[in-house]
Amino acid sequence: MPLNQEDFSHWLDSVVEVFSTLSEEQKTGTVKAVLEVCGCEQLTYLTQIFIPATCQIDFISHLPNDVVIQILKYLDGESLLRSRKVCKSWYKLINASKEVWLHQFWRIGGQVLSPPSITAGEAQKLFWQQHVYRKNFKRQLKKGQFIFGPYDEEDTSESFKLKSPYFFKPYVAVGCEDRNVYFWDTTLGAAFLVKEIEAHSVCQIKFDKDFLYTASYDNTAASWNMETGQLHSKYVGHVNAVMCVEPVKRHNLVLTGSADLTIKIWDHDSGELLQTLVNLHSGWIKQLRALSSPLSDHLVVLSCDTKGQICVWYKLLIDEKTFSHEHHMLLNVPFCLSSPTVTNDGLVCIPADIVLSDACKGTATIVQTGRGMLSFFSVSVKENTRKDTLVCSCVRRVCLPSSLSESRTLIGAGRRFAVFHVTEECVSELNDYYSSSISVVDLELKKIYHTSPLDHFSPFGEPPVLGETDWLDGFNESNHPWQLWISQMSEGHLSLTTGNRHGNQI
């Protein structure tokens, strides 16, 4: 742990007294010891004052490279830029230190490159590109917010409420009380309505390049041809509103969750009901996600309900229309916690601390700590000769920064960043009050990376929806996000917050 400033000063004075009497080898060892107890500001002071004053030499040229690299890692990019101007040897060493530039790139949100197969020059370019992007991030967000919807902003007398915005690059889509689903292309810095499909009352939508999938309050779900807008198949069998829908095209299936407390599995094309799952949930099923499985004949699914129960279960597909070997695992989640999110690499992220209580039965209890914790689970099916088993193991826990408000909902997570919707008033830099905000947390450095105020409430109390998500795993040279998050507004409109598309643009 770094020493506090007073202890550091006393300790440094004692080292200065004996430093000049040490041999070169002993000096190197002393410098290494100093590195272990220095904080960032203390180390900067050390490199500028202590070492030159006692050594009376160019310490970068005389210390071992591994020590110099550790010293340089504590400097920020602008300090490195100034250090290069000291002399030619410093300029050459700093420019050639790939490890230093990769570390600087990582500190400001870049992906960890393993193995780092780039040159020192390319690493430096990555850092400066991301440095410019981060420096202009707030300004770009302020410029890049626009409102759009199916109705004229000036005449909202006949507007209907919107429901369940969904993003699938490059389109944003939303269901509407007028029984239509509207699609906008938002890639050009504005929203252009490109398609509308007449459907039914929508509770949730999802879509890809081929089909639109809708879950409806009329107790049915449906799939629609994206090109023609015609009904492809209807899934009829629930006795209460269908709250969520999940297509699994690799198995030609569609899953639906309902307020009737059941999950149903359908044939994608014919609409035939294949199986009904009961007794998994005691609340309305609000979310279904098919998880990736290395076993091609297994279907692994995450489901959660309004009472905070999370169920991970799987099915063994014997043939196209037969399922067997059901197994499930319940996670008991406090109701105040938000639903889990699934990362780009298939991990289940839950905003709470997880304590496995009964590994044999596959159950777990979730306990919320004072500061808050994100737990990442890996879910897989292990093949056995007698009976396959579902394996759900916590692979990572991250403690959230104490400055993050407890009135928060997790809306996205990756290896590097997590995004929260904070539902309490915040004050901007201009002393303006906002009803809620978006907080982006750096999970590696455990601090808030950015906060963006939202000046409106969702009419349904729903959090914003993320647009592009590649950046959640860390920035690289090509994934700086453009479409960040979509939030619902009153009077039948959406708000899209955008960022800078390229790190080298200002």
Structure tokens at 158: 């006949």
Sheet holding 231-236, edge to edge: 202-207, 211-216, 220-225, 231-236
Q: Is the CB of residue 372 less than 8 Å from the CB of residue 399?
A: yes
CA 173: distance to chain centroid?
21
Closest among 238, 240, 166, 176 to 202, alpha carbons compared: 176
d(CA 378, CA 347): 5
Looking at residue 222, its pLDDT comes to: 97
DSSP-assigned letters across all residues of 264-333? EEEETTT--EEEEE-SS-SS-EEEEEEEP-SSTTEEEEEEEETTSEEEEEEEEEEETTEEEEEEEEEEE-
| DSSP run (H or E) holding 349 | strand 348-350
Looking at residue 424, its pLDDT comes to: 79
Burial degree of 39 (CB within 10 A; 0-12, 13-18, 19+): middle
Structure tokens at 84: 């290069």
Closest among 161, 247, 160, 162 to 212, alpha carbons compared: 247
Structure tokens at 173: 């889509």
- Sign of the dihedral through C-alpha 170, 285, 267, 318: positive
d(CA 177, CA 274): 30
Residue recorded with tokens 């550091």:
8
**pLDDT per residue of the chain (506 residues) written in tens, 0 to 9:** 444 555 555 555 555 555 555 565 555 555 555 555 554 455 555 555 444 444 455 666 666 777 778 778 878 888 888 888 878 888 888 888 888 898 889 988 888 766 667 888 888 888 888 888 887 777 777 667 788 888 765 555 566 788 889 999 889 999 988 899 999 998 877 788 999 999 999 999 999 999 999 999 999 999 999 999 999 999 999 999 999 999 999 889 999 999 999 999 999 999 999 989 888 888 899 999 998 776 667 788 888 888 878 888 888 776 555 555 455 555 655 544 567 889 998 898 888 765 554 444 545 555 555 458 888 888 888 777 677 777 888 888 898 998 888 888 899 999 999 999 988 776 665 566 677 888 999 999 999 988 888 877 666 677 889 998 999 999 887 788 888 899 887 767 888 888 766 543 32
d(CA 21, CA 13): 14
| DSSP run (H or E) holding 17 | helix 5-19
| Backbone φ and ψ of 127, nearest 5° | -60, -50
Q: Is the CB of residue 351 less than 8 Å from the CB of residue 397?
A: no
CA 415: distance to chain centroid?
7
pTM, 2 dp: 0.81
Structure tokens at 51: 């070492």
DSSP-assigned letters across all residues of 147-194? EE-SS-TT--TT---EEEEEEETTEEEEEETTSEEEEEE-TTSS-EEE
Instruction: Provide the residue ranges of all domains of the chain, joining segments of one domain with +.
Output: 5-96
Looking at residue 218, its pLDDT comes to: 94
Q: Which residues contact 328 (CB under 8 A, 6 or more apart)?
A: 280, 311, 312, 313, 390
Cis check: omega of the bond before 170, within 30 degrees of 0: yes
Strands 363-367 and 322-332: parallel
